[in-house]
Amino acid sequence: MDKEYDVIVLGTGLKECILSGLLSVDGLKVLHMDKNDYYGGESTSLNLNQLWKRFRGSDGKPPESLGISKEYNVDMIPKFIIANGNLVRVLIHTDVTKYLNLKAVDGSFVYNKGKIYKVPANDVEAFNSPLLGFFEKFRARNFFTYIRDYEENDPKSHNGRDLTKVTAREIISENGLKDDTIDFIGHALALHLDDSYLDQPALDFVKRMKLYAESLARFQGGSPYIYPMYGLGELPQAFARLSAVYGGTYMLNKSECKVEFDADGKAIGVTSEGETAKCKKIVCDPSYLPDKVKKVGKVARAICIMSHPIPNTSDSHSAQLILPQKQLGRKSDMYLFCCSYSHNVAPRGKYIAFVSTEAETDNPEVELKPGIHLLGVVDEIFYDTYDRYVPTNHYEVDHCFISTSYDATTHFETTVDDVIEMYTKITGKILDLSVDLSSASVSADEK
């Protein structure tokens, strides 16, 4: 390992693999190492035996009624991809789409006053939605029409408003929308994590709503989301292949992976098994540099194996359901993610459901009850928590670029924002994501 690299990437989590691919395409000399003997890091996918071993220990085996172990691909960080979002743009920009088989997700739902509703995403759906009362339908339809017609570069569509100055709260109140309507628009459509967006300039909020509606229209499905066949474990491996095509070097199962620093505290290489590889920059997940990160929260989740779809989701074989925080009297939203044999992540007739949220207590079983209650009968349930970390270092000084931990959301928008920000810090360049979105296609539906 006497070569010098431009960048050494530690950990094969999704963020690290995307960056490894992007930097290799840029012509940088990349060495990618992982202490584990598998791809994916925290965002790996497990078969049934691996899932059992991780959560139930080495004793016992999964019951035969659950089917064949290798037919399971259970994501440890379950997230759907929004069809016109930045992750799809990155996939197209890097041509990684040729390594993936993507398929539309059946449904997108929201929880309101104890019931599950399809998320209305445009003026027609708002008018027909049982989520809204008679007069609210008219108000919502007018609001959605304004959003649909808004074009940032066309002042005629702005209705005299400057969305860089007007807040989201102001444009919502002008339309007289009720709190429950604001709840689903902000959390299930614009995908905001809390209500702080209401007092921010409205432009980002409007763009997020447009992204949702355009993504929904993209594949004519019941949701704006797509998801890889065989689970998210396919994504890190696809970017690893890309990096290798462009000269990136991969080394798995490298014990320790100790980052070396010079007298000024600048990263200069990585030592593993007595050998040191030199480099100019380090990219890694928080586990590789624990003294340069701080804990900011914890995610609680339940992983459930079921023999049916989530009830009241129109028999969707794959679905996202968001439970806005106010509906539960919480500080954080709760997310339900369901996938099945239709995306080849479980044997025929089996469904994998996740319930996840930002933990507000030390008791995930109690905290996740509102979401688990909506699943109906479950065959098996596994509870898990993991800590969330953010970097505290000064990358300009130590040349270490550390990703943030994955949050509780069941979509990729926050994940890709972190990757794009890291790319700019590492390279000093803005990632050009102006791509032809039509070059990403999805598989035909086969239920």
CA 126 to each of CA 137, 188, 213, 313: distance values in angstroms, whole numbers, following the listed order: 6, 13, 12, 18
Shared domain for 211 and 127, answered yes or no, is: yes
Asked whether residue 447 carries a pLDDT value surpassing 50, the answer given is no
Average pLDDT value for residue range 350-364 = 95
pLDDT band at 434 (very low <50, low <70, confident <90, very high): confident
How many Cα atoms sit within 13 Å of 246 on the Cβ side? Answer: 22
Assigned domain for 134 exists: yes
SS3 helix, strand, coil % of the chain, rounded to 5?
Answer: 35, 25, 40
Sign of CA dihedral 236, 239, 245, 250: negative
Shared domain for 195 and 129, answered yes or no, is: yes
Assigned domain for 445 exists: no
Shared domain for 38 and 51, answered yes or no, is: no
pLDDT band at 445 (very low <50, low <70, confident <90, very high): low
pTM of the model: 0.90
Assigned domain for 192 exists: yes
Shared domain for 181 and 207, answered yes or no, is: yes
Q: Cα separation of 51 and 74, whole Å?
A: 8
Average pLDDT value for residue range 282-304 = 96
Chain position carrying tokens 């139930």: 56
pLDDT band at 166 (very low <50, low <70, confident <90, very high): very high
Question: Hey, what are 72's tokens?
Answer: 């399971």
Assigned domain for 417 exists: yes
Instruction: Give the pLDDT of residue 444.
Output: 58
Asked whether residue 318 carries a pLDDT value surpassing 80, the answer given is yes
Q: Could you give the number of structural domains in the chain?
A: 3
**Domain interval for residue 357:** 45-106+295-388
pLDDT band at 383 (very low <50, low <70, confident <90, very high): very high
The helix/strand/coil state of 23 is helix
Shared domain for 395 and 288, answered yes or no, is: yes
CA 26 to each of CA 32, 88, 279, 433: distance values in angstroms, whole numbers, following the listed order: 15, 19, 17, 14
Residue 388 pairs in a beta bridge with 297
Strand 81-82: give its sheet, edge to edge: 81-82, 225-228, 102-104
Assigned domain for 447 exists: no
List of residues 6+ apart from 400 with CB closer than 8 A: 259, 267, 281, 282, 284, 289, 292, 391, 393
Shared domain for 315 and 175, answered yes or no, is: no
Work out the percent of the chain whose per-residue pLDDT is above 90: 64
